[in-house]
Structure formats: C-alpha cells, structure tokens
Structure 1
Amino acid sequence: MSSPIILSSGHTFNWACIQQWLDVGHRTCLISKLPLLEPPSLIPNHTLHNHISNYTLVSFLKPQHNPPNPQTLIHALLPSSSPLDEKLSSLDQLNRICKRDSAICQRLSELGTVSVVLKCTDSSEFGFAAYIEFA
C-alpha cells in the first residue's frame, strides 16, 4: 500500500483501489457498507504511510538472497571506480530499486544519489549519452 487514505467510515484503503471503487459509482464503504459523504472524503493517512515507508526501508536493507547494496551501486558510478558495463549495470539496478519502492528512492535521493548519477551520466569519459534511455 503506497497511498493509504481513510474514508469517513473510519476504514483505511489504498487510494488507487478505493478511487477505482468510487469511479464505478459505489458510494458506500467497501467494508462496512455505510454510505459515504457526497463527495466522498478521502483523508490521507500520513501515520500509516510513514510506518509503511519505514518498514519498507528497513526490510529492504535486511539481507535477502543477496540483493544489491545501494551504496555499492552508487560507488560504482563514481569516476574511475569501475568499467562502463559495471556503471550501466549499477544504473539499471538503481533504476529498478527506485521504481519498486518510492520510499527507498526518496532515501537514496536524500543521500545524494541523484548528483552522483547526474555526474556519471554527464561524464564524457565513456560517452554515456549513447547508452542512456529515459523511461
């Protein structure tokens, strides 16, 4: 659950899921079947969002069948630290990590990963421009 919201019934849902429920015309709580206010009030559940983000970050950092270490991936992007194919692999893995979990992406951003990636991709040392594909 990436965007928890609370309905007027007091139940918490993922925003995208309950929005889909409402878009097809339902105006009752999915669980309690109580009628919802018109228009339905979708209140962000910041506390639950923070708990999910913290849990996700902690569980990502725990070793699980040898996941890539973000710090190792970032280090591989530094100038003269690794060959081109390793830099490309590191960029790909960091991209996958960030697509998989926005909380981890935010944490990596706070650690300065964006500037390292930009310096790496801007480097003329290996002619990266020919290899970069923006998603």
Structure 2
Amino acid sequence: MTLSDSRVPIRERVKTRGDVYSADCPCRDLLDVVATKWAALAIGALADGTLRFGELQRRLQGVSPKVLTATLRRLEDFGLVHREVIPAVPLHVEYSLTDVGRSAVEPVFALREWAESRYAFALAHAERAGDA
C-alpha cells in the first residue's frame, strides 16, 4: 500500500505517525520524496522565498530541466511545494514552500550542515577506499 494507491481511502492510508522501518509504512513514500539530493536542495533554495523555474534552476547548479521538473512535481504532489501559474506574456510559473514544506527546512538544513562539515572526512575515506 502506498500514498498513491487511490483504491484505499486516505484515512486508512495515513493512520498515525507510523514506523518508517516497517515495509508497509506510508511515511516511506514521503521520505522517498524529500530524501533525494535535488528535493533537499530545492527545499533549501525555496526557504528564502518564492522562485521562478529559471531562478531555481540557476540556484541548483547542475540540475537538468527534466530532473528539476520531476522533482518539483513530486514535491507538489506531496503538498510540500506550491506551484502558481501567473498569466502573463510570457507565462510565469512560481514555486514556493507550503506550510508542510517549510516544516522540512530545519531538518534539510541540518543535513546540509552535517554534509558540509563532514565532507573532507568522507572524501579522504573515499580516496583511501579507491586506493585499496
């Protein structure tokens, strides 16, 4: 059973806090969404406020338009990101965090801080492993 299984009513799919280590825990779907590199970086970038697609892509150096589009769609599907189409010529699309998305900022920033502060250690370890 997954959050996307439309045959099961939402009240039965999301019962409690859950147990992420359980194979049938629906919170795994949400963890799968936010625990990717591009999703975590997009959440972090949107923490500063609303961004248009091009601005977000420039901020997330190295992400392809296809991957960014897929990432933003998944974040939107799970209610973490709000997508607003602004009728203008040319059409403008803006992305912002929802309240639930904003609640993910602190853990995402904590993980980013951890990764940045442990990078030298991890790199040295990987280089030693590559020499073996």
TM bracket (short chain): 0.3 to 0.5
**Structure label with greater radius of gyration:** 1
* Structure having the larger proportion of residues in strand: 2
Normalising by structure 1, report the TM-score. Answer: 0.32
